[in-house]
């Protein structure tokens, strides 16, 4: 596992509309108000014993490009060569940078600018993902435009004019599982004609997951800890804790490290817990990805009414890198490693020098 390879410089913060958009159907991801589209796998077709004709290929090269489907199931025509890219999603921007395609990005969203602007060219054009300037996008004439679905969360196609202009618009909804994130990466690699670069990131993810699972398997059942993951710390104005429930990759990661998510049995993917419910659950560890509350760790440690919560009494309250945990791309694996070390320092240790996750001494 090469955490340093993945964990390059990140700057700024992803700005998102948590209070306005955080509902069961709108998980707080990439940015955290983005609509999460479950990517259900289609059941395998029953084999035909005596096919009358050879099945048609799913993709066909033409002079215009390669016919394919994006991650939302839309029919698209992939370009034969990619020299210019517009990325309207921080997760996709991060993936493209780490695949070595930062210099191909000619425009992006302002959330990507906040997080990764220093890693992109100075002349990159930025626009609001909620209201993309379609005229500017068409004028740039990129080979491909990656979108996240956030721009069209109101039901209207925010890229209708871009599609009408004949540009390739590839949508990648916010993925609910690690497997979906890996498939997103492979899709991006296919789109830009570099599946090997994408596969390398997926392989690093799988290598880290295997290391985590091997160590987690040594944790006795009676030693497994309960964890509260929070995206927003409750306050007098907003007395709600936004967290990750079942059907999210965050819940999946907590399970991988051998922890018990206190919201793991909630009905919603992204439940809003009351303070009373969180305190009653008595989490042994609190992990925060709150980007709004100043001095968030000390704020949590000093919250009135939380004095007897196990995590508060032991001081086991930790801050995760919000970009890494909130954006569904390969960098979630860095957050996985941090979760493991924060929750179980007696079992997990990350050796910075050797870039290796190993059992604690």
R_g over Cα of the chain: 21
Indicate whether 148 pLDDT > 60.
yes
Indicate whether 53 pLDDT > 70.
no
**Which pLDDT band, with edges at 50, 70 and 90, does 234 fall under?**
very high
Q: How far is the C-alpha of 202 from the C-alpha of 40, rounded, in Å?
A: 20
Q: Which of 331, 202, 286, 244 lies closest to 36, judged by CA?
A: 244
Between strands 105-109 and 85-87, the pairing is parallel
pLDDT of residue 60: 54
Taking the CA atoms of residue 194, residue 196, residue 201 and residue 207 in that order, the dihedral angle to the nearest 10 degrees is: 170
**Which pLDDT band, with edges at 50, 70 and 90, does 313 fall under?**
very high
Indicate whether 54 pLDDT > 90.
no
CATH architecture of 14-38+61-201: 3-Layer(aba) Sandwich (3.40)
Q: Are the folds of 14-38+61-201 and 219-359 the same? A: yes
Q: What is the mean pLDDT of the chain?
A: 86
Listing DSSP states for 226-258 in one string gives EEEEESB---SS---EE---TTSHHHHHHHHTT
User: Cβ contacts of residue 112 below 8 Å, gap of 6+?
Assistant: 87, 89, 90, 93, 94, 120, 126
**Which pLDDT band, with edges at 50, 70 and 90, does 342 fall under?**
very high
CB atoms within 10 A of CB 242: 24
Q: How far is the C-alpha of 165 from the C-alpha of 159, rounded, in Å?
A: 10
Angle at CA of residue 136, ends 102 and 85, nearest 5°: 25
| The domain made up of 219-359 is a member of CATH 3.40.228.10 | no
User: Cβ contacts of residue 258 below 8 Å, gap of 6+?
Assistant: 216, 217, 219, 224, 343, 344, 347
pLDDT of residue 35: 31
Largest CA distance in the chain: 72
Indicate whether 31 pLDDT > 80.
no
66-122 tens-digit pLDDT: 999 999 999 999 999 999 999 999 999 999 999 999 999 999 999 999 999 999 999
> Distance between alpha carbon 37 and the CA centroid of its chain, in Å?
13
170-211 tens-digit pLDDT: 999 999 999 999 999 999 999 999 999 999 999 999 999 999
Indicate whether 62 pLDDT > 50.
yes
Q: 174 vs 36, 186, 328, 354, CA distance in Å?
A: 5, 15, 6, 33
Indicate whether 301 pLDDT > 90.
yes
Domain ranges within the chain, ordered by starting residue: 14-38+61-201, 219-359
- Are 16 and 292 a contacting pair, CB within 8 Å? no
């Amino acid at each position: 596992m090469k955490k340093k390879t993945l964990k390059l410089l990140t700057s700024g913060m992803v700005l998102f509309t948590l209070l306005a958009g955080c509902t069961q159907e709108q998980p707080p991801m990439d940015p955290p108000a983005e609509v999460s589209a479950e990517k259900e796998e289609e059941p395998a077709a029953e084999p035909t014993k005596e096919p009358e004709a050879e099945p048609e290929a799913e993709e066909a090269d033409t002079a215009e490009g390669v016919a394919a489907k994006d991650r939302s199931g839309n029919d698209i025509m992939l370009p034969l060569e990619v020299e210019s890219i517009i990325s309207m999603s921080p997760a996709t921007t991060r993936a493209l940078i780490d695949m070595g395609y930062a210099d191909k990005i000619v425009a992006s969203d302002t959330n990507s600018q906040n997080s990764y602007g220093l890693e992109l060219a100075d002349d990159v054009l930025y626009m609001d993902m909620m209201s993309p300037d379609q005229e500017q996008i068409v004028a740039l004439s990129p080979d491909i435009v990656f979108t996240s679905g956030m721009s069209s969360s109101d039901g209207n196609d925010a890229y209708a004019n871009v599609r009408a202009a004949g540009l390739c618009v590839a949508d990648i909804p916010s993925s609910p599982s690690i497997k979906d994130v890996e498939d997103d990466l492979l899709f991006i690699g296919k789109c830009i004609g570099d599946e090997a670069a994408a596969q390398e990131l997926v392989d690093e993810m799988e290598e880290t997951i295997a290391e985590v699972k091997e160590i987690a398997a040594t944790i006795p059942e009676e030693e497994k800890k309960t964890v509260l993951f929070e995206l927003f710390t409750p306050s007098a104005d907003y007395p709600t804790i936004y967290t990750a429930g079942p059907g999210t990759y965050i819940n999946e990661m907590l399970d991988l490290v051998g922890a018990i998510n206190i919201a793991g049995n909630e009905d919603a993917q992204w439940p809003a817990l009351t303070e009373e419910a969180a305190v009653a659950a008595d989490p042994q560890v609190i992990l925060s990805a709150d980007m709004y509350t100043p001095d968030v760790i000390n704020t949590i440690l000093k919250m009135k009414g939380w004095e007897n919560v196990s995590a508060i009494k032991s001081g086991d309250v930790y801050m995760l890198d919000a970009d890494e945990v909130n954006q569904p791309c390969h960098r979630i694996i860095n957050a996985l490693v941090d979760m493991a070390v924060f929750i179980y320092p007696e079992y997990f240790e990350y050796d910075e020098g050797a870039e290796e996750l190993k059992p604690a001494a």
